[in-house]
Chain A
Amino acid sequence: MRMSRLQQVQILILLLLLAGVSLIFARNSASFAAWTNLRNILLDATPIVVGAVAMTFVIITRGIDLSIGSIANLSVASAIMLTGVRPEGSMLTETGWAVYPVALAVGMGLGFINGLCITVLRINPLIATLGTMTFYRGIGLHLTEASLISVQGAISWFGRGQFLGLGLPVWLGIAVAVTAAVILSQSVSGRQMLALGGSPRSARETGIGEVKIILVVYALVGLAGACAGLTIVGRVGVLSSELGSGLEFTVITAVVLGGTSLFGGSGSILGSLLGALLLTTIQNGLNLIGADPYHYDVIRGGILIAAVTMDTLASRIAGRTRLSVG
């Protein structure tokens, strides 16, 4: 399926914004355009990219998942508590390879529970995931007793590993984005997600398995949350009670920046990827140019408003307002 004209305009706007802020930062910082810094940007963006890609599927189907940050926390916390070993008298918890499958399985399971709340219990996605956001974080805090857990061993392999000059998480981000883009644009499942988001009633009448699709997309967000959590803890070397805090808003911002409609039925993986890169580039550039700390939120918020305004204008010009969907 080819991108619509509107999506092409949205992608163009994002690319221009990304190029514009990059130029500004490059003019003000000698090291912004250095390869090592670009590598850092890609690595820092990975948890947001992975989360945003999965969140795109959810938002396309008219849903939202506020619990991704809490899933990142709980999935990694439970994997470390279940598989890690802390020798008596040591402050370091040694992790083995089992931490990966356990975290991913827990993450997927938590996402699946979100899907069940929405499909079986018929709870609005916003309310359901608002509830599980608090619930999952509460369990995570209980498991770790809100303490800092320093970790080493296998969990660091992924977060700190390199392949062909790029961090392993970056390769994961690329693989996830490419696979998701192919699924959304080329597969039957992708078309079903778009149809379900565009008009749930029509989708049901044509026999599209609504429950199955919703369960799968929320489980994918859970899986993405676990990947994000593993990446962060692998890099930082510590499991903190703040892990994943605020991730949901960054991820949703990236998706909205990328042009995915909050009303469902349209969206683009490439847009979400660029949205995540734009947010990370701004953070990185502000740091490099030594910006006033009080300007960070102002600039981030301003760029979000600018992007959404341009997107709205583009929609009007294309004669297709978002409200006409569904």
Chain B
Amino acid sequence: MMKSRTLLACLLGTCLIVLAPLPTMAQDVKIGVSFDKVEPFREAQKAGLDAAIAAAGASQSFANADKDAQRQASQVDSLISEGVGAIIAIPWDIEAAVTIAQVAEASGIPFITMDQAPADLEAVTYHVGGDPCADGRAAGEFFVKVADGQPFKLLEIQGSLSNDNGIRRSSCLNEALASAGNVSVVAQVPTDWNTERAMIATQNTLQEHPDLNGIYVPFNDGLNGVFSALEARGRLKPVGEDGHVTIVSIDGLPIGCKAVQDGFLDLDIATPIPAMSTKAVEAALKASAGEELQAKAEFLPGVPYGKADLEAKADELWGCK
């Protein structure tokens, strides 16, 4: 049986070929890739970068900082010593990323950040990421639309409060909800992107608010925990059925797509990993060749999709392939 990582890489590779052909000047360039951690979403990003780097004919050296800013700094030092042409990093600590970027730039190595924006974008050569604010806002607008002026009780599960994606997916959701007085956020629970904590948050909120109408799950990994808690209370019902709890999630992982297909997830917002990977690699290769980049930073909003959109948006939904 084909390994899932290989399969994911093949799928993302196909997306990349469709989306954007990369320059072919990269034969001898080695790109240093530094990740903050490994987990399902990062695996998808790794597969995306693998495919983009392979498509460009470059090679790579990969390091995982395992949630440690100091370790990430050391690994970047090693990548510089190794003589990589450019570094693509997903920073663990957005403040520390600024210093790490300065060290790389001082050594003449272009430093590109992906997904998590550093505290100061001026410090990096280029940044490409999702748009956590646009995604959070899209989720909020969806809840307002579903509530349709009626009283609506919402549970907001939060990711991490020390992380740019976690903070902005939350703040922009709340901005979008601010104008709708009928939608009340009855609980906001930080989970540190942990599935079990998402389950416990749902279970506890259902205890206080058995008539809960909606749940915002800003990471697909949390969905299983939410479904498990809903099932235990007899509230796991597909979209359209009486008593259904409206759920919106973000990521676009296969598990999110399956939940949409099964009818339990109303809306998922797929982070455009293939486009993000392509742009990061493209920028790394251009900068290492001394070419000027057209933009300093790009934020790519996610692709919102429900069950009705699966066919129409199939090309953009890498987690559904």
Contacts and interface: CB of A to CB of B under 8 A. Distances in A.
Partners in one complex: yes
A41 B285 CA distance: 53
B208 A242 contact: no
B200 A241 contact: no
Given A236-B195, A241-B40, A246-B192, A287 B201 contact: yes
A88 interface: yes
Interface string A205-248: 00000000000000000000000000010011110111101100
A315 interface: no
Chain B contact residues (Cβ within 8 angstroms of A): what range? 35 or more
Nearest to B44: A147
A40 B207 CA distance: 9
B264 interface: no
Interface stretch (A104-112, A289-297, A316-324): A289-297
A235 B200 CA distance: 10
A31 B42 contact: no
B61 to A, nearest CB: 18
A293 B188 contact: yes
Contact of B1 (A88, A237, A283): A88
A287 B195 contact: no
Interface in A117-144: 134, 141
Chain A contact residues (Cβ within 8 angstroms of B): what range? 35 or more
B94 interface: no
A268 to B, nearest CB: 27
A91 B255 contact: yes
A150 interface: yes
A287 B40 contact: no
Contact of B195 (A242, A290, A293): A242
Contacts of A294: 161
B225 interface: yes
B190 A293 contact: yes
B187 A290 contact: yes
Given A88-B1, A147-B4, A296-B190, A236 B258 contact: no
Main secondary structure of the interface of B (DSSP, over half): helix
A29 B38 contact: no
B200 A292 contact: no
B224 interface: yes
Contact of B204 (A30, A40, A148, A242): A40
B221 interface: yes
B314 to A, nearest CB: 18
B306 interface: no
A185 interface: no
A36 B203 CA distance: 10
A32 to B, nearest CB: 8
A191 interface: no
Interface of B: 1, 3-5, 38-40, 42-43, 66, 158, 161, 186-190, 192-196, 199-201, 203-205, 207-208, 220-221, 224-225, 227-228, 232, 253-255, 258
Interface of A: 29-31, 34, 36-37, 40, 44, 88, 91, 134, 141, 145-148, 150, 160, 232, 235-238, 240-243, 245-246, 283-284, 287-288, 290, 292-294, 296
Given A237-B228, A288-B207, A293-B190, 10 more contacts: A37-B204, A146-B42, A148-B253, A236-B195, A236-B225, A237-B227, A238-B195, A241-B38, A287-B208, A288-B204
For the complex of A and B, 6 pairs with smallest distance between CB atoms:
A238-B224, A287-B204, A146-B38, A293-B190, A288-B208, A241-B39
